[in-house]
């Protein structure tokens, strides 16, 4: 009997300690909870979400603020940063700067190049193949995941111009919106992009790959520029990517229908910024 009484006292003591510990950390109306959102989880002062709070419950906590963008982090948690798969790939996210056709910073909240895990592995395979052919060359990524909100902003910039055919309508979706497409080039040992005949995101016939011989004969492209493009297509196709006719830099990992079946559409609300770098 005495043993049972001791166990009861011990249980009550543990309950009281846990109750007041929770009240201390998150109970005050005027005290902010120290919550770090990591991959959609909540860490409460070093404890890994001990009470099993969901995202909506976290947002309802007294004094909680969400400066890091919980919606954004939770949506991309199933994607991978390309550099976590291959940290020798070069990254220059053009839409995280003003160096793009919109003149706006479109990726204020995204500073890494994200892809679906299997797509990132395909890209790493392409990079490995490139280095086996030319050890001094590297892949240089310009764009990867592009949330649908950014796609809408791009469309607004071109919808009433002759360039509208170069940007996918938001209603039709782009493989970028699933993290299943990548825009990239090849760079030399010092990170300088090879000459592909046009800049990234060039709106014009010279960016296409379907009549490169004709472009050479007209003096629009040189033989070396086309050979550089052919090398890019060779290594990307070797890894399973598919090129498109209008943009030498764009490669798809699968069809749009396949992406809809395999992956989640990433639609993060955003407000573009216009400022100098």
What Cα–Cα distance (Å) separates residue 175 from each residue in 35, 64, 74, 140, 239?
Answer: 34, 35, 19, 19, 17
Q: Which residue has the tokens 């229908």?
A: 257
Q: How many domains in the chain?
A: 2
User: What CATH number does the domain containing 85 carry?
Assistant: 3.30.1380.10
* Segment 59-88 mean pLDDT: 63
**What percentage of the chain carries pLDDT values higher than 90?**
53
Most confident stretch, 4-13, 36-45, 65-74, 195-204: 195-204
Q: Is residue 138 part of a domain?
A: yes
Is 8 strand, coil or helix? helix
Distance, in Å, from the CA atom of 225 to the CA atom of 53, rounded to the nearest integer, reads 55
pLDDT at residue 50, rounded to an integer: 39
Other beta carbons within 10 Å of 102: 19
Q: Is the pLDDT of residue 69 over 80?
A: no
- Last residue of a domain, which of 36, 67, 98? 67
- Last residue of a domain, which of 11, 44, 67? 67
Q: Is residue 17 part of a domain?
A: yes
Q: Is residue 269 part of a domain?
A: no
Q: Which of 115, 122, 91 is nearest to 191 (CA)?
A: 91
Distance, in Å, from the CA atom of 171 to the CA atom of 23, rounded to the nearest integer, reads 47
- Last residue of a domain, which of 67, 88, 109? 67
What Cα–Cα distance (Å) separates residue 182 from each residue in 91, 115, 153, 195, 272?
Answer: 11, 8, 19, 19, 21
* Least confident window among 4-18, 29-43, 81-95: 29-43
Q: Is residue 272 part of a domain?
A: no
Confidence of residue 270 (pLDDT cuts 50, 70, 90): low
Distance, in Å, from the CA atom of 169 to the CA atom of 148, rounded to the nearest integer, reads 10
Mark whether 173 and 192 lie in a shared domain: yes
Range of the domain at 22: 2-67
Q: Is residue 40 part of a domain?
A: yes
* Segment 138-156 mean pLDDT: 92
Mark whether 100 and 24 lie in a shared domain: no
Q: Is residue 102 part of a domain?
A: yes
Q: Which of 244, 268, 267 is nearest to 255 (CA)?
A: 244
Mark whether 240 and 135 lie in a shared domain: yes
Between 47 and 72, the more confident residue is 72
Q: Is residue 267 part of a domain?
A: no
CA 148 to chain centre: 12
Is 239 strand, coil or helix? coil
Mark whether 30 and 135 lie in a shared domain: no
Q: Is residue 34 part of a domain?
A: yes
Mark whether 13 and 92 lie in a shared domain: no
Q: What is the pLDDT of residues 83-134, one digit of tens each?
A: 999 999 999 999 999 998 888 888 877 789 999 999 999 999 999 999 999 9
């Amino acid at each position: 009997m005495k043993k049972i009484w001791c166990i009861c006292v011990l249980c009550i003591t543990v309950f009281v300690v846990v109750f007041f510990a929770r009240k201390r950390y998150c109970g005050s109306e005027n005290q902010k909870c120290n919550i770090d959102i990591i991959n959609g989880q909540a860490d409460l002062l070093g404890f890994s979400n001990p009470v099993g709070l969901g995202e909506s419950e976290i947002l309802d906590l007294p004094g909680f603020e969400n400066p890091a963008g919980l919606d954004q982090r939770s949506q991309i948690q199933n994607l991978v940063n390309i550099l976590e798969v291959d940290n020798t790939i070069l990254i220059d996210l053009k839409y995280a700067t003003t160096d793009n056709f919109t003149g706006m910073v479109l990726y204020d909240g995204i500073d890494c190049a994200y892809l679906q895990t299997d797509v990132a592995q395909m890209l790493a395979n392409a990079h490995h193949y490139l280095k086996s052919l030319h050890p001094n060359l590297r892949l240089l990524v310009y764009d990867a995941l592009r949330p649908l909100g950014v796609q809408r902003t791009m469309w607004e910039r071109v919808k009433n111009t002759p360039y509208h055919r170069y940007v996918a309508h938001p209603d039709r979706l782009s493989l970028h919106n699933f993290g299943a497409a990548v825009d990239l080039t090849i760079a030399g040992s010092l990170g300088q992009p090879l000459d592909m005949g046009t800049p990234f995101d060039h709106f014009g016939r010279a960016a296409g790959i379907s009549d490169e011989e004709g472009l050479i004969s007209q003096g629009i492209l040189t033989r070396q520029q086309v050979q550089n493009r052919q090398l890019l297509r060779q290594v990307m196709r070797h890894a399973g990517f598919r090129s498109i006719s209008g943009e030498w830099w764009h490669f798809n990992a699968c069809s749009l229908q396949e992406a809809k079946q395999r992956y989640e559409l990433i639609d993060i609300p955003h407000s573009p910024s216009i400022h100098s770098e």
